[in-house]
Amino acid sequence: MTSILPSVTVPGSSPAEASRPLPRALQRMLSLDDFEAAARRRLPRPIFGYIAGAAEDNQSLRSNREAFGRYAFAPRVLVDVSRRSQQTELFGRRYASPFGIAPMGISALSTYRGDIVLARAARAQGVPAILSGTSLIPLEDVIREAPGTWFQAYLPGDPQRIDALVERARRAGFETLVLTVDIPVSANRENNVRTGFSTPLKPSLRLAWDGVTRPRWLAGTFLRTLLKHGMPHFENSFATRGAPIVSASVLRDFSARDHLNWEHVARIRRQWPGALIIKGILHPQDAALARSHGADGVIVSNHGGRQLDGAISPLRALPGVVAAAGDMTVMMDSGIRRGSDVLKALALGARHVFVGRPFNYAAAVGGEAGVAHAIGLLRAEIDRNMAMLGINTLREMDAGLLARESLAD
């Protein structure tokens, strides 16, 4: 049976929400990019650096954005677009828009109870959110606050721990499991080191100064968390509670993944009754393997440029993956900042896309209201672009409405 999350009036919000004035800090946010500068001012430098940074020379990070500029729209005109809708369906659920919130680790350091903030806003706005396996709030708390949230797992190193984590997610009530498979070893994130972020998080004079000079974050996020919930732990890496963020054992907890292979996916498929998604696919052959091992879908992703620097951008990889995926659902993340980006990805074969950093910034700037505003901005852009492209449904968004731009231009 198809179900739909709480509906939202396109292009913005419900009538009651539309009549409610935006907080002053959000009135200046006119696009997703606007949240980044505001979050930079609000967050301590190490925390902002962790979110914004990528791997090594940031080649993949830049390529993710540049890829969208290689395609231009070829719109149709004099089409009656008065009945346009951006609703879409995934795995038996209908969503209000073709985008969702990507999994982001330690988002509870960006804003108070950040994982719940993101999941609640997504549910209220009728889009999916994926809870990160490196989150600092127990998955049971998040699914209780926002039923329908997806869970993303970084697989532990041995089968018994894998089985226990999968069973924990099932018992909690998650119906969609996302396996992120592009992190056999930790990436070389020099950007984190340069901004003062480390794993484990090490108290320092620099970190203390950053906190003192950002009193809203210090009081509203960090101290509030300590007083109400104690030192944050990695809550969802295993079936049991993980290490605190300041513990030296954190590094050990995130190692021992370099031996994982497709047999582990097959094992999970036998155990997991819901939708199974493989995230981190860039090569067509891996899409075919995911299909043959029982995956219901894949997310074409290079981890937002945070893993292998120089990896192909997901938008460029998308057509080849779609061709190899057969009837499997193909989704995409990395680099999406505008409604036009969403529609270009759909034209190249994606059924849905996920956006990460901008929603994290929005949560840091305005909490749940900030995330809702960011969702509304992206939704409104999609609505306007659909009208100007001459389409009423997302099914009409295909490669015939795109033209490949010459790199010489």
Give DSSP secondary structure letters for 141-199: HHHHHSTT-EEEEPPPSSHHHHHHHHHHHHHHT--EEEEE-S-SS----HHHHHHT--S
For the chain, the first-to-last Cα distance in angstroms comes to 49
Q: At what angle do helices 339-347 and 314-325 cross, to 10 degrees?
A: 30
301 is in an annotated binding site: yes
**pLDDT of res. 407:** 55
Asked whether the beta carbons of 296 and 351 are under 8 A apart, the reply is no
**pLDDT of res. 242:** 83
**pLDDT of res. 253:** 58
| Parallel, antiparallel or unpaired: strands 297-300 and 275-281 | parallel
For residue 351, how many other CB atoms are within 10 A of its CB? 18
116 is in an annotated binding site: no
279 is in an annotated binding site: yes
303 is in an annotated binding site: yes
**pLDDT of res. 12:** 43
Asked whether the beta carbons of 270 and 164 are under 8 A apart, the reply is no
CA distance 14 to 1: 25
* Residue owning tokens 């938008």: 315
* Residue owning tokens 């860039």: 282
189 is in an annotated binding site: yes
Q: What is the largest CA-CA distance in the chain?
A: 63
CA distance 311 to 281: 11
Binned average pLDDT, 10 residues per bin, the chain of 409 residues: 44 51 90 97 93 94 96 97 97 97 96 98 98 96 98 89 95 97 88 82 80 92 95 90 77 68 94 98 98 98 95 98 97 98 98 98 97 98 98 97 75
**pTM reported for the whole predicted model:** 0.93
93 is in an annotated binding site: no
User: Which domains does the chain carry?
Assistant: 24-190+252-404 (3.20.20.70)
19 is in an annotated binding site: no
**pLDDT of res. 199:** 76
Give the residue numbers annotated as catalytic, written as ranges: 303
**pLDDT of res. 293:** 97
- DSSP 8-state symbol, 401: G
Q: How far is CA 360 from the centre of its chain?
A: 9
154 is in an annotated binding site: yes
Single-letter amino acid, residue 89: E
331 is in an annotated binding site: no
95 is in an annotated binding site: no
CA distance 279 to 290: 10
Asked whether the beta carbons of 93 and 2 are under 8 A apart, the reply is yes
For residue 19, how many other CB atoms are within 10 A of its CB? 8
**pLDDT of res. 207:** 79
Asked whether the beta carbons of 131 and 154 are under 8 A apart, the reply is no
